[in-house]
Structure 1
Amino acid sequence: MKNQQLDSKILSIPSRNLASKIPILFGFLFVMLFVPQLAFADVYIPLHEYLGYFDSNGIYTVVGNVKNTNNFGVVPTITVSVIDDSKTISKIINHVPLGPEKEIPFKIKFPELLSNTPILVNPEITFQKAITHEIPIQILYDKTLIKYNDGHITGRIQNTGDQTIFYPKIYAVVHGYENVLDITQNIEFIEKIEPGEILDFSMYPDPAITQDVFYYSCFAPVDTTVIPITAKKNDGNFDFRYDSGAWYSAAKFDESGTTLSIRGYNSYPLETYANFEFPPISGNEKFSVTLNDEPVDFIQSIDEMGFWHVAFTVGPTSQGTLKISGFDKGLPPEMPKIPQWIKTNADWWVNNQISDSEFLEGIDFLFEKQIASVPERDVIAESQWDVPSWVKISTEWWHEEKISDDEFLNIIENLVKRKIIVI
C-alpha cells in the first residue's frame, strides 16, 4: 500500500509560529483570537472543530475538540444538542480531566435521530477545577508517523515518565483539506506501557470520509475514557460504562434482569477491543457473552474499585447484537466512596501488619482517582513518603465506622494539604 510520511518538522513546530500560515492546523492562539468560540472564556470548543455527520452505518455523529487555556486542570461537562424535525435531543458528556493548556477531542452518536437533515445546536460547556497530572506519553514525530492513501495513520508512542501507565488511549482530530472531518482514536487495546517503552498505534477515520482525509492533528493522550450507558433493569436504572474501539447502543435487559442486550458496530477493517464495566450486585456474578447468539471468548475480572470488567476482542467490520448474561436480579447497592481494599489496608496498618508505605499507596490511590483532592499537591517519590504514627487513631475510627468515609477523606485531605502526610 502506498503511503505518505508526515512531515515531522511541521508537526513539531509550536502552533503559534504557524498561525499566520496554517491557521487551523493545531488551533491555539489563532483560534482564540479570530474564530468564534463557545466558552466560559477559558474552556471552549472552536466552532470550526465542532460538527455533525452521518457515519458509514448511517448514524448521526457529533465530534468536537475541547480546549483548556487555564493554568489549572478542569473536568469539562459538555451538553450536545441536535434538533430532529421539531424535537430537540440533548446528551451530556462528562469528559475526562483536562490539564492546563491542553485539549482533548470527543465524539458522541445519536442513533435515535429520524430525519436526514438534523440541525446541530451550539454546545454548552461547564467545568470544575481539578488536580491533574500530565500523562507522560509522547507521540514520536519521526519517520514512523505515516498517513496512508486510505486515510488511516500509524505511529508510535513512548512513556517518558517513571511509572507504568495502564490503558492509555490516543485521540486525534482528522482534517480534510479545508475543514475538520472526524475525531478518531487508536484502534488497538493497550493494556499498559512501561517507563521508557515504545509502542505502535494505528488510527482509522470513519469509512464514510476516508477519501477526504488530509492530515491529523491535536494528538491527545489520555489514561482513561469511557462511555456511560443507562438501561432499565428490574424497575430501575442500571448504570454501566464501556471502553472500546467499537460503538454500542440500544442497551436493554430481558424481563428477568439477568441478560443485557446491546447493539455493536465496528466500522474499521481491523479487529479492536471492548471492555465493559459493571457495578456488582452480589459480587458473585459469573458472566457469559455471545454475539449474534455465537459464544465469544472473554475475560472477566474485578478492578481496584470493586467493579466487574468483561473484556473481549471485536472482529473487523463487524456488527450485531451482543448479549451478556449472568447478572443477578435487582439493582446494585450503593457503592462505598472508598474501595474496600483501602479500608482493609487501613486495618492492617493500624495493627502493624503492613508498612507505612503500603498504607500510603492506598491514600495515593485516592488522589490519583480524584476520590480525594487538595488545591495543590507535590508529587514525590515513594521513598520520601511520610505519615505520623498518630494518624492511626483517626484511621482506626474510620475502620470501626465511628466516622464516615467523607469525614475520613476530609481528615486525609487536610493532613496532605498541611503536609503532615506527605505522598
Structure 2
Amino acid sequence: MRLSIIIAASALLFLIPLASQDSFAQVNSGGFQAGGVNIDGSWYVGEGLKVGDYYSYNLCHVDYLDCSDFDMAMWVQEEVRVGTEDKFRIQVLIYDGKKIVKGHMDVGQVAPEPTGGSEEISSYRSVYKSSIVWLSAFATKEIDSDGVYLTGKGPKDFRAASWGKIGNIGGQQILPSAQETISVGAGQFDSILLTWKTGGQQSKVWIVDEFPFPIQGKTFMHVSQGIPPVEYDFELLDYKENVSSNPFLNVETTAAKQAAAGCPEEFLKTKFNESTNTFSMIVKGVYGPKIVKQGCEIEMFIDFKRMVNPTEFVDQVHYDIAVFSDPSKPPIQTVSIDEGRAELYTASGQTHRFVIAEQPPGKYIYAIIVYGTGPEHILGGNPDTSGLMTFDVEVVKGGNTSFVAPPTASITEIPQWVKSNAEWWAEGQIPDSDFVSGIQYLINQGIMKIPETAQGSGSGSDGIPAWIKDIAEFWADGQIDDNTFVGGIQWLISNGIMKLS
C-alpha cells in the first residue's frame, strides 16, 4: 500500500510544471505564504554593474502620465566621487513618443538608486527609481568595513522564504517563487520569479543571477475594491558590455531642435473652462502659446471636472487630443497615434501634455475629445460621458513667437445683475417659466448676447434638466465662467425649451 502511494506521488510530479518543481512555497507557522527556490545563489539590485555596460528598457509607472510607456537607454560612463561616496555616472537617452531627451544620472554603488543628475530627465529618473530599481528597498550590496556591515539589507538568497514585506496596507511578502526561462526583447534568460499580492492581483518581477537589474516586471497598485491598475511595467530591450564611447553623442534632442528653431521658453498661457459639447463634464485648464512656431511645442494643463460640482474631478477619463484643419474631415494629428496608443487615459482627471505643432502655417482647431469614463482596461470607457471641447491655435513660420498672444475673446456679454436672477432661480425663489422668460427678454433686447444657435423644434413644455440649474448656481457663485453658462442656455434653445422671437 505504501509503495503504491509513493509511486502515485512520484507520477504526480510529472504533472507539475517545470517552473514550480524547484520551488517549495508553503504556509509557515506564522500563517503567511512562504517561498523559496531550490537553487543556490543570491542577488541584489546592481549586482555586477560596471563601467561600459549598456541597457535599454521599455517602461512605465502610474505616476508618469498614468503609466504611459517610453524607452530608456542607459550607458555606464564612469565612476565618480560625490562627497564621500563612490557612484556610477550613467548617460541616459529617452524616447518618449515623438520627444527625445538626453541627460545623466549618478547612482549609488551599494544600491543603484539615482541621487542626482540632469534636470531634463528628472521625471524619467523617478520612474527608473520606482520600477527598475524598486527592489533595492529589500536587496542591496553589502559593504564590510572592518567587520561592520553598513547597509543592513544585503543580498537575498534564492532559497529564502521571503525577501521582505511591501509597505502598503495589507502588504504581502515578496516571495522567490519559481525558476523560469523567459524571452524579452534582449533575448532569452534563465530567471528567478519574484511574486507578491497587491489588490488581489499577483505582481511579478523576473531577475537573473549576477545581472544588475530585473529583466522584466509587472506590478499592480493596492486598491480596496475593483480591478487594480498597473503600478509599473518594464522589459529589457537590449544589453551590451564593454561599450567604450557614448552611444548617444550624435543623437539630437527635441530641445536642441526647438532651440535651433527659436522656440520661445516663456509665453503666455491661455485659459479655457468650458463644458463639452454634450455637457457631460467641464474641461478646464490652460495652453500655450496660442500662436506657435512650426515645430515648437504647445503645453497643456487639462482638468476634467464634474458638471454638477465643478470643484470635483472626473476620474478614469479616456480621452485624446486631436488637431483638425477642417472639422468636417478626420483629424490630421492625434496625440494617441503619436505615442502609439489607442487612446489617452487619466485616472485622476488631471494631465499635463505637450503637443508638437508639426503642421504647415495656418489656423487649426485643437480638440480635447472625451471617449468616456471607466476602468483603464475597458477601451473607451462608458460612452455616456463622451463629448469634446475645442480651442484655436495658429501655426506660423519664421519670425518671433515669443510675443504675448491676445487673450481668448469672450463670446458673451452678460451684465452682472443677471447673475442675481440665476441665483434666485437656482434657489427656487422664482419658477422655471419666469427664468426662461427673463432670459428670452434679455436675449431679444440684446442685453445678453450669445453665439448664433439653431432653434429647436420642441414644444417648449419639457422641464429644464437639473444640471442646467446646477450650472446657473455655480455660475452665480463664480465657480464657472460665462461661456459654460451660455452653453446651458444654448442647449435650452436648441432643444426647444426656450423660444426666441
Find the structure with the greater CA-based Rg. 2
- Fold equivalence (TM over 0.5): no
TM-score by length of structure 1 reads: 0.28
TM-score by length of structure 2 reads: 0.25
Higher strand share: 1
